[in-house]
């Protein structure tokens, strides 16, 4: 019995992996991971120094003390701090990533698909016009044949 279920299970798994959507998704994840590194580098190398012109260079060092005397950093820190700089840095990374993905990938693909749809509709309407024209020509031929038969019968 197991011999019978194993091949079907394997075949199902193989069919799942060979589906186009799974492969596209895998490619998107790999590209997204690589792209995240680029965005993080831009935030650390460009955005943080720009913010550093007005304060500290690292967004992670921006914080507010919620309770007690806040002294020290890392494991030796005392008090309760809200690290809003880290949240700001992550938000900037997200916004930059979302903007680049939208403007460089989503928007061009949407325009491309809209053009393809317009071409498909234009092609369909052209085919309909051709079909209607052929139908009209056939009707004219039929009417002409009927007229010729009618005139031929009158002469006999």
Total-model pTM: 0.51
- pLDDT number for residue 104: 82
Distance CA 31, CA 75 (A): 35
Buried b (16+ CB within 10 A) or exposed e, 55-85: eeeebeebbeeeeeebeeeeeeeeeeeeeeb
Span 12-32, pLDDT tens digits:
887 777 776 777 788 888 888
**Residues comprising the chain, all counted:** 156
Residue carrying the six token digits 């700089």:
85
CB 43, CB 93: distance < 8 Å: yes
Answer for the pair 16, 22: CB distance below 8 angstroms, yes or no: yes
Write the pLDDT tens digit of every residue in 31-54: 888 888 887 788 778 877 787 777
Predicted confidence pLDDT, tens digits, the chain (156 residues):
445 556 688 888 877 777 767 777 888 888 888 888 887 788 778 877 787 777 766 777 777 777 777 776 666 667 777 888 888 878 887 888 788 878 888 889 889 999 999 998 888 887 777 767 777 888 889 999 999 888 765 544
């Amino acid at each position: 019995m197991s011999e019978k279920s194993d091949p079907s299970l394997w075949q199902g798994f193989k069919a799942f992996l060979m589906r186009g959507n799974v492969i596209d998704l895998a490619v998107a994840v790999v590209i997204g991971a690589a792209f995240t590194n680029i965005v993080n580098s831009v935030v650390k190398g460009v955005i943080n120094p720009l913010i550093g012109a007005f304060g500290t260079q690292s967004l992670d060092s921006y914080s507010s003390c919620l309770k007690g005397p806040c002294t020290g950093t890392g494991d030796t820190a005392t008090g309760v701090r809200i690290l809003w700089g880290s949240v700001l840095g992550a938000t900037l990374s997200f916004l930059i990533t979302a903007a680049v993905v939208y403007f460089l990938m989503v928007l061009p693909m949407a325009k491309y698909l809209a053009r393809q749809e317009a071409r498909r509709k234009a092609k369909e309407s052209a085919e309909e016009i051709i079909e209607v024209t052929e139908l009209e020509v056939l009707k004219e031929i039929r009417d002409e044949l009927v007229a010729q038969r009618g005139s031929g019968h009158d002469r006999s």
